Amino acid sequence: MKRKILSLALLSFVFLGNAQEKTSVVEEVVLQGNRMDIPFSQASRDVQVISREDIKKLPAKSINELLSFVGGVDVKQRGPFGTQADISIDGGSFEQTLVLINGVKMIDSQTAHNMMNMPITVDAIERIEVLRGAAARVYGINALTGAINIVTRKDKKPFVAVDLFAGSSFKSKEEGDGSGIYSGAGLQVTGNYGDEKQNHLFSAGKTTSNGQRYNSAQEGHKFFYNGNYEINPQHSIQAMAGYTKNQFGANGFYAAPGDKNSEEIVNTSLFSLSSKHQFGQVTISPRISDRYNEDDYRYFKDKLDVARSRHYTNALMLELNGNVKTSIGEFGLGWETRLEKINSSNIGDRKRDNHGVYAEYKSQIGEKLLANIGAYVNYNSDYGWKVYPGMDLSYALHQHWKISASVGSGQRIPSFTDLYLNQKPGNVGNPLVQPENAWQYEANVKYAKGNFGVQAGYFYRDITDFIDWVRPYSGVPYSPVNFGSNRVQGFYSRIQQNFSIGESHKLGVKLSYNFLSPKVTGDTNNQSKYVLESLKHQFISGIHYSINNFNVQIENRWLKRELNDAYNLTDLRLAYQWKAFRIYADVTNIFDAQYKESGAVPMPGRWYSLGLKYVWN
């Protein structure tokens, strides 16, 4: 199947190479840093962007599914409809990737299993920025292998979007799990009020599914608000709030086969208030934010007095970011404080503080060289002081050619679960575990002209004090240790071409390939939970075709993990636009592949969905 898809994509380039190419004018995407915003065309790091137009085309209904089409990003889902997923980048663990919403960190100090419990509907997203590599200089702690920033819409005009969808595998439910067929449905409503001085974005969503297997039913609710108000051209205020509740059967999620009748309920709330002030060439942006999470894990959903775990986690964050533009370049400075605490039935009452200071300098040297250098100085109440420097360079060889190189460092603070969990006989924490530290070196070359682009790069990452959950033999609990070093070499390449054939036909092709070669040094006599679970090969191809108001998008993913068999997934979306209505049909996993992404959870086979979206402007 991989050869067929690759051949089809390459033939598209060969036979359509002489087609009429129509270059479209696209507004420059500005990447949102904490202190300095950088136009996408000037980015020295490897950054991938999922645009609003991409989101509209892709056969996806959740953030988890959208990210699965990004090269280098490994999405390990435990079910459809955004039930739960672990996100990692370039062979790292799910704890080593930082996810943000409009620059606000979604770090969950209990466990990163809950990090993707987000309140945003797909229609509320303007774009998703994926930055690969150790990025403490840009985002602080826990951006060890990369960061994902979800940017919401800031439309200046009112709109309302209503998206209703339903789907099924048309397979009978398993014995003992009720009757009928596996099915699910969702409703998302997104609205915006805006004018030249303000915008207020609201969204709400609900998904429900009776599960693709025994005890895997899911029900989720989302509510989100983001507001921006311009007092005058120099001063503005931003506010954000969200709440999400996700309840699902957790059969095989963490402790198979004993957890066959387990259930989990996760509630997450988010609040942020910030402002931006410009005084001549100086910009200052203070922000206060809070993320609160409740995790109720029921090992036996019908026996709540046995093996039940309840966790209440809160993180209060205070930030002050600024930059100043001078004749010799732009300087960025920032400070942040993060106050974390947890009250838990099997972790106890714990708290810790984290304080960080940023400094960054960006300068254009001559007409072709762009340099960005800086450091993040961190103090943690449990681990003391650490310094994490980094540097990015890019050089324009030609109008269309650019080479870039970067070196960066990062840190991942152990979670409260790593340190203090007492969940015998399954898992026991280790209070002696130390933070993970990483250095990453990368170089890439990029060519872009009109609607054609190609990029290739190489990176080397060295993580010291790598944390892994291990045990000497079956029957004793897993416990985390600083396993040793985890060194990963990787190569990636991407190519994209868009064609306009006449006035009404358009064709687009995307290809990406990622190869990872990890090497772990340490005690290999123990049984490991996470080591060598990373991707080794990842090949993603996508073809989009449109004629007038009819659109077809085909996405293919071929993945091979270190210790598991390869599998191939092909997804399809057909869509037709009629006035304000958009009718779409998705077929997920067309060839009914049997595969697992995480733990002992078989993912759904072939799944059919039908959706109707109405947009009022």
Phi, psi torsion values for 16, nearest 5 degrees? -105, 5
pLDDT at 519: 86
∠ CA(586), CA(591), CA(595), 5° rounding? 100
Helix or strand (DSSP H, E) at 4: helix 2-16
Q: What is the dihedral of CA 176, 178, 183, 184, to 10 degrees?
A: -110
Number of continuous H segments (helices) and E segments (strands) in the chain: 5, 34
Contact 192, 617 (CB under 8 A): no
If you average pLDDT over residues 71-83, what whole number do you get? Answer: 84
Q: What is the dihedral of CA 481, 484, 489, 494, to 10 degrees?
A: 20
Nearest to 137 by CA among 416, 423, 372, 399: 372
Q: Which two tokens stand for residue 454?
A: 């190609």
Residue type, 455: Q
Strand partners, 365: 369
Q: What is the dihedral of CA 231, 236, 237, 238, to 10 degrees?
A: 130
Helix or strand (DSSP H, E) at 9: helix 2-16
What's the half-sphere exposure (Cβ side, CA atoms, 13 Å) at 369?
5
SS3 call for 8: helix
Phi, psi torsion values for 605, nearest 5 degrees? -80, -145
Least confident segment among 26-35, 359-368, 430-439, 512-521:
26-35
Is pLDDT above 70 for 24? no
Is pLDDT above 70 for 531? no
**CA 612 to CA 585: how far, in whole Å?**
9
Q: Which two tokens stand for residue 467?
A: 């944390």
Residue type, 68: S
**CA 54 to CA 73: how far, in whole Å?**
16
Look at the chain and report how many structural domains it folds into.
1
Strand partners, 73: 89
Average pLDDT, rounded, for the chain: 89
Nearest to 346 by CA among 427, 292, 435: 427
Least confident segment among 151-160, 257-266, 593-602:
593-602
Tell which wins on pLDDT, 236 or 504: 236
Euclidean distance between the first and the last CA atom of the chain, given in angstroms as a whole number:
42
If you average pLDDT over residues 43-70, what whole number do you get? Answer: 91
**CA 65 to CA 68: how far, in whole Å?**
5
**CA 553 to CA 569: how far, in whole Å?**
14
Cα dihedral across residues 141, 142, 146, 151: positive or negative: negative
Contact 354, 338 (CB under 8 A): yes
Which residues, in sequence order, are CB contacts of 232 under 8 Å at separation 6+? Answer: none
Is pLDDT above 80 for 578? yes
Q: pLDDT (tens digit, 9 = 90+) per residue, 386-441?
A: 999 999 999 999 889 999 999 999 999 999 999 999 987 778 999 999 999 999 99
Is pLDDT above 60 for 15? no
Strand partners, 296: 265, 310
Is pLDDT above 60 for 4? no
DSSP class of residue 433 equals: -
**CA 377 to CA 123: how far, in whole Å?**
37
Least confident segment among 110-124, 249-263, 296-310:
249-263
Least confident segment among 69-73, 144-148, 513-517, 528-532:
528-532
If you average pLDDT over residues 502-515, what whole number do you get? Answer: 92
Cα distances (angstroms) measured from residue 291 to each of 109, 121, 312, 559, 573: 10, 18, 11, 34, 35
SS3 call for 592: coil
Nearest to 392 by CA among 360, 435, 353, 429: 360
If you average pLDDT over residues 117-144, what whole number do you get? Answer: 91
Nearest to 537 by CA among 500, 573, 490: 490
**CA 502 to CA 497: how far, in whole Å?**
16
Contact 56, 583 (CB under 8 A): no
SS3 call for 354: strand
SS3 call for 361: strand
The CATH number for 197's domain is 2.40.170.20
pLDDT at 596: 85
SS3 call for 368: coil
User: Do you find a cis peptide bond into 119, omega within 30 degrees of 0?
Assistant: no
SS3 call for 133: coil
How much is the pTM? 0.92
User: What range does the domain containing 116 cover?
Assistant: 2-616
Q: Which two tokens stand for residue 203?
A: 């969204």
Query: 3-state SS string over 290-323?
Result: EEEEEEEEECCCCCCCCCEEEEEEEEEEEEEEEE
Strand runs (DSSP E) across 435-478, as ranges? 436-449, 452-471
Phi, psi torsion values for 24, nearest 5 degrees? -95, 150
Band of residue 27 on the pLDDT scale cut at 50, 70, 90: very low
Residue type, 208: T
Q: pLDDT (tens digit, 9 = 90+) per residue, 157-173?
A: 999 999 999 999 998 88
Cα distances (angstroms) measured from residue 369 to each of 325, 363, 433: 18, 9, 42
**CA 43 to CA 61: how far, in whole Å?**
29
**CA 167 to CA 183: how far, in whole Å?**
6
Percent of the chain with pLDDT over 90: 70
Q: Which two tokens stand for residue 338?
A: 């993060």
Band of residue 33 on the pLDDT scale cut at 50, 70, 90: low
If you average pLDDT over residues 458-472, what whole number do you get? Answer: 91
- Of 6-15, 73-82, 348-357, give the range with the top mean pLDDT: 348-357
pLDDT at 366: 86
**CA 180 to CA 43: how far, in whole Å?**
52
Contact 391, 409 (CB under 8 A): no
Q: pLDDT (tens digit, 9 = 90+) per residue, 309-357?
A: 999 999 999 999 999 999 999 999 999 999 999 999 999 999 999 999 9
If you average pLDDT over residues 51-73, what whole number do you get? Answer: 94
Nearest to 117 by CA among 9, 264, 320, 317: 264
pLDDT at 40: 58
pLDDT at 9: 41
Q: Which two tokens stand for residue 271?
A: 């609040």
- Tokens 């996806």, residue? 60
Tell which wins on pLDDT, 64 or 82: 64
Is pLDDT above 50 for 25? no
